[in-house]
Amino acid sequence: MTPRLQKPLLYGSILLIGAGGIYHSIHSTSDPEPRKPSSDVPMANASERREGAAKDAETETLFAELHSLATRPAEALDFQALQRALQALVRKNPQAAADFASSLTDGSMREIALQRVAQAWASRHAEAAAQWANAIRNQEERGALLNGIFCEVAQSDPAKAVQMAERYDMLSFSAGMSGNLVQQWATRDYDAARHWVDTLGAGKPRDEMFQQLALIRSATAPEEAARMISEQIADRGIQEEAAITIVSRWAASDPEAAKEWAGGFDAGDFRERALKEISIAQTSSSGAGQKD
């Protein structure tokens, strides 16, 4: 086997495309047919109107602040203030914040603004944020924003993040993204994550996920982790990377078992590297024991 191994920011001038028009459009379409006052609930309607007017005023203020910040010379840009204003606008009107970020044409500023909007929106309404990001025409921007949204979701619900990534066809967008999402899920519910990965078709994303599952399992069941990478991972590079990590960890608790497993690898540089990792782990372990 091979282990039966088959396997600071640069800001130029920032141009806004109809920034004022964006806000005007949002205002003009937010409530095209105002409800007629009802004689039954006059106080309630008055309260709603006051609340709506206050929100509109706050949105307008934030939008004006963002416009002012974004059009300053690069050396006078207050990036922290820009982030705070964007996050505040997301809380009031996420679509307005998204439209503002999309209107920026300076590459660096646009990228950062879009990411901040995506992150803040995802923490409040992940599905709406994902639908917005998915509609972006630039595929590189779309992928980066969806990736950021899934990572935000994974902090509280990694299972949902993985399932959203699958639904938006994003499991293979970036190297390691799918593996990282599954790793977070497996840390909370290993069996559910393993069952889901088992249902996937062969390919690099699936191999990356099994790599993460094996690394998690190696802490408590190294024999099972060893079998997993030998039997489930087809990509040779991913397989070898996982094997080296597992054999090193295994050697710290059971060097003989680790050495027996590594001894079954195909002869060559990889097996020698694995045996060297075992020797290093043994030396570190004995050194720590002597200190104790």
Q: Which residues contact 65 (CB under 8 A, 6 or more apart)?
A: 81, 85
pLDDT at residue number 197: 93
- In the chain the first and final C-alpha atoms are separated, in Å, by 38
pLDDT at residue number 55: 57
Task: Answer for the pair 235, 7: CB distance below 8 angstroms, yes or no.
Answer: yes
Query: Which residue type, as a one-letter code, is found at position 157?
Result: D
pLDDT at residue number 54: 47
Q: Which residues contact 225 (CB under 8 A, 6 or more apart)?
A: 214, 215, 217, 218, 246
pLDDT at residue number 49: 44
DSSP E strand boundaries for 132-198: none
pLDDT at residue number 288: 55
Task: Answer for the pair 226, 240: CB distance below 8 angstroms, yes or no.
Answer: no
- Give the residue extent of every domain in the chain: 18-24+52-156, 169-292
CA 109 – CA 13 distance, rounded (Å): 10
Does 169-292 carry CATH code 1.10.10? no
pLDDT at residue number 232: 95
Across-strand partners of 16? 104
Q: Running DSSP on this structure, what letter comes out for residue 104?
A: B
Per-residue pLDDT of the chain (292 residues; tens, 9 = 90+): 555 554 433 333 333 334 444 444 444 444 444 444 444 445 445 444 444 444 578 888 887 888 777 777 666 667 788 888 888 889 889 998 999 899 888 777 888 889 999 999 999 999 999 999 999 999 999 999 999 999 999 999 999 999 999 999 888 777 678 888 999 999 999 999 999 999 988 988 899 999 999 999 999 999 999 999 999 999 999 999 999 999 999 998 898 999 999 988 888 899 999 999 888 887 776 655 555 5
Task: Answer for the pair 171, 178: CB distance below 8 angstroms, yes or no.
Answer: yes
Three-state DSSP state, 16? strand
CA 216 – CA 246 distance, rounded (Å): 10
CA 115 – CA 98 distance, rounded (Å): 10
Model pTM score:
0.66
Torsion of CA 95, 99, 102, 105, to 10 degrees: -160
Q: Running DSSP on this structure, what letter comes out for residue 275?
A: H
CA 288 – CA 28 distance, rounded (Å): 70
State both tokens at 133. 């990001």
CB atoms near residue 216 (< 10 Å) = 18
Instruction: Specify burial of residue 128 (Cβ count, 10 A radius: 0-12, 13-18, 19+).
Output: middle
Task: Answer for the pair 64, 72: CB distance below 8 angstroms, yes or no.
Answer: no
